[in-house]
Amino acid sequence: MAESNPQNWRAADAYLADILVGHDPTLDATLAAQRAAGLPEIEVAPVSGKLLNLLVRISGARRVLEIGTLGGYSTIWLARAVGPDGAVVTVEAEAANAAVARRNLDAAGVGDRVEIRIGRGAEVLPSLDGTAPFDLVFIDADKESNTIYLDWAARLGRKGTVIVLDNIGREGEIANEGTTDPRVIGTREGLRMLGEDARFDATALQTVGLKGWDGVAIAVVV
């Protein structure tokens, strides 16, 4: 039995992506454009992009909110899943990232169903109040603001809205009560909110793979 280590986590992830996700020139071009623009390589792994896509389809979501667009890689997975009559609103703090995302979304043929709102979530999300409820919310932005984003996800959702919170593993640091890393503190606060706030019912799965030791929380608004 092979030892568990980052090298074989990555190899297994590549194997799973090969047989279950496949390779798609559009998404390859999106990643190439993100790299060329100097964006950090922190977009979701292909298997996780496919997970988002499946969760949208399994839940029948037609209106999706994404917090943290980066270059649009995960946005494309979400936009494909909602279909031509669905809608994705994605919030991005950095205008330069949003410009990369806009080009990628248009090149992927899903630009017409995606609205990018530029600004920090805490400022942009209140402006979405009063629009039709979102069916699924993917939170993948600054971890320090996770509780703000979860609160807005509940307010902008409805009973049954699916919430996916990225990066809950943090190399196991989430179990470290004494952490001083603000991103880990934000992750822990988000998880605590999912556990304690009566609006949510949630679980979380640790993952190992392309992105190391990480994980994802999945919740429903009750």
**Toward Mg ion, which CB reaches closer, 35 or 158?**
35
Residue 75 binding Mg ion, by CB under 5 A: no
Q: Taking the complex as a whole, how short is the minimal distance between the CB of residue 49 and Mg ion, in angstroms?
A: 11
Q: Taking the complex as a whole, how short is the minimal distance between the CB of residue 135 and Mg ion, in angstroms?
A: 21
Query: Can you tell me which of 17, 47, 140, 204 binds ligand DHB, judged by CB under 6 A?
Result: 140
Q: Which amino acid is at 49?
A: G
**Toward ligand DHB, which CB reaches closer, 64 or 199?**
64
> Which residues, 6+ apart, have CB-to-CB distance to 183 below 8 Å?
142, 143, 144, 170
- State how far the Cα of 75 lies from the Cα of 58, in Å rounded to an integer: 17
**Toward ligand DHB, which CB reaches closer, 66 or 135?**
66
User: Which tokens go with 84?
Assistant: 């031509």
Rg over alpha carbons for the chain, rounded to the nearest Å, is: 17
**Toward Mg ion, which CB reaches closer, 202 or 222?**
202
- State how far the Cα of 162 lies from the Cα of 202, in Å rounded to an integer: 10
96 binds, options ligand DHB, Mg ion, none, Cβ within 5 to 8 A by partner type: none
User: Which tokens go with 146?
Assistant: 């996770």
Q: Where do contacts with Mg ion occur on this chain (CB under 5 A)?
A: 140, 166-167
